[in-house]
Amino acid sequence: MPRIVLLVTSPRLPAGLLTASAWDVVREAPVLAGAESELTTAIRSAGAEVRVLDGPAAPALLEAVAAGGTVVWLAGPAGDETLARELGLRLAREPGLAELELMYGSWDPPGARLLDAVAVLDRLLSPGGDPWKRAQTHHSLAGFLLEESYEAYDAISAGDSDALREELGDVLLQVVLHARLAEELPEGERWNVDDVAGGLVDKMIRRNPHVFAGAEAGSLEEITANWERIKQAEKARDSVLDGIALSQPALALAAKILERSARANLTVPLPHPDAQPDPESTLGATLLALVAQAHESGLDPEAALRRTTLAHAQTLRIHEPTPTPPPTSSVDHEIGGSDPGISPR
């Protein structure tokens, strides 16, 4: 039976990357399109013919299929739903005229929408884009990167998968935004999102030889130790403490420093609270001792304090007195103060 083939392709892949079935059908059947594009050029380059319409698509497709055989329509990424619905209703009224087939000539690869994110941010930071984003710098955005990361952390703590997806999108926004801003740096200092992704890919391949280089996997402890050896060889740091993020919360910072020192078998005594010169130093030494105790017990002091503090905050909310609304005077009634739809002036 004759067919009307709606050929859908990914806009994120080179136009000529079509499946074998798609190439077969465009070579064997008349091809119609709504406009010239890279895909029409690729098909013509392969020796097939494409006719670009200057009017409604449905009548032309029905006329072509009525002449016998199969006709191909180069659909948009969404499949041209309105056209498909129109053709479906017509063919339902005339059984035997033709079959309507949706064919995918190419699919978006995993991560394809990341290309859209890069394109959107490029538009926002290009001339004529968003003035606020164009005025930002790495320094001015630093706080937002931390804030979005904390919100993602909150979503994880709450076990809210949908919220985590959204918050990770906000973190991704910061990554792509910083990368786009870096394209405006002086010559010789510039880098872009491909440099970020490329560095990540290279690092993952180097540090996971048990996956990419055929090395023996071993235990999780051995894999972690191997990761650290490779990392130390790459970074050539002077101290085991180099590379620790000093701007992280103090409890997390203390835990990370103690973890690094234990991994390097450094046994330096902790400062004793009684030997400190002032109350603040005494408190700091006491807290550091508590963090060391948590580390020895396999506990996360940052997570522990956060959990307990939030539980206490919830208790405070329960015992918090209900706010008393301010008294309403007769004057308020006269000018509409009790009516939220009226603004007293």
- Predicted pLDDT at 177: 96
Q: What is the pTM of this model?
A: 0.68
- For residue 7, give the CATH number of its domain: 3.40.1010
Q: What residue type is assigned to position 201 of the chain?
A: V
What residues contact residue 151 under an 8 Å CB cut-off, 6+ apart?
A: 167, 170
Q: How far is CA 333 from the centre of its chain?
A: 52
Residue 174: count other Cβ atoms within 10 Å of its Cβ. Answer: 17
CB 223 within 8 A of CB 188: no
Q: What is the DSSP string of 206-225?
A: HH-HHHHS------HHHHHH
Judge whether 231 lies within some domain: yes
CA–CA gap between residue 41 and residue 53 (Å, rounded): 15
Greater model confidence, 342 or 281 = 281
- 279 vs 129: CA distance, rounded Å: 53
Structural domain total, the chain: 3
Span 185-221, pLDDT tens digits: 999 999 999 999 999 999 999 988 888 888 887 888 8
What local confidence, expressed as pLDDT, does residue 313 receive? 93
Q: Is residue 38 part of a domain?
A: yes
- What mean pLDDT do residues 131-152 have? 94
Examine the pLDDT at 280 and tell me if it is beyond 50.
yes
pLDDT of res. 68: 75
153 and 255 belong to one structural domain:
no
**Is 335 a domain residue?**
no
Among 123-127, 208-212, 219-223, 267-271, the range scoring the smallest mean pLDDT is 219-223
| Residue 175 domain-assigned (yes or no) | yes
Q: Is the dihedral of CA 53, 58, 63, 67 positive or negative?
A: positive
More confident: 48 or 68: 48
The predicted structure's pLDDT at residue 327: 73
Q: Are residues 122 and 94 in the same domain?
A: no
Cα 287 to its chain centre, rounded Å, is 37
Asked if residues 1 and 66 have their Cβ atoms less than 8 Å apart, the reply is no
Residue 222 pLDDT: 82
**pLDDT of the residue at 102:** 92
The lowest-confidence range among 67-71, 233-237, 242-246, 259-263 is 233-237
C-alpha–C-alpha distance, residues 257 and 275, integer Å: 21
Asked if 128 and 222 sit in the same domain, the reply is yes
Q: Are residues 206 and 143 in the same domain?
A: yes
Backbone angles phi, psi at 234, to 5 degrees: -75, -45
- Asked whether residue 222 falls in the same domain as residue 273, the answer is no
Residues 120, 86, single domain; the answer is no
The pLDDT, as a whole number, for residue 339 is 42
Residue 242 within a domain: no
CATH number of the domain within which 229 lies: 1.10.287.1080
Task: Report which DSSP code applies to 275.
Answer: G
Residue 186 domain-assigned (yes or no): yes
* Residue 343 covered by a domain: no
Note the pLDDT tens digit of each residue in 79-111: 788 999 999 998 899 888 889 999 999 988 899
User: Distance (Å, rounded) from C-alpha 344 to C-alpha 323?
Assistant: 23
As a whole number, mean pLDDT of residues 286-306 equals 92
pLDDT surpassing 90 at residue 125: yes
pLDDT score recorded for residue 77:
74
Rounded Cα gap, residues 32 and 61, in angstroms: 8
Mean pLDDT of the chain: 88
Determine, yes or no, domain membership for 344.
no
User: pLDDT category, 329, cuts 50, 70, 90?
Assistant: low
- Residue 119 and residue 194 in one domain: yes
Same structural domain for residues 73 and 21?
A: yes
Provide the 8-state DSSP code for 317: H
pLDDT of residue 326: 74
Domain that holds residue 227: 112-235
Rounded-to-integer distance, Cα 70 and Cα 22, Å: 13
In this structure, the answer to whether residues 82 and 134 fall within a common structural domain is no
Distance, CA of 2 to CA of 151 (rounded, Å): 55
C-alpha–C-alpha distance, residues 5 and 19, integer Å: 14
Q: Which of 104, 124, 144 is the last residue of a domain?
A: 104
Residue that is last in its domain, among 50, 71, 104: 104
- Cβ within 8 Å of residue 103, ≥6 positions away: 5, 6, 7, 8, 21, 22, 25
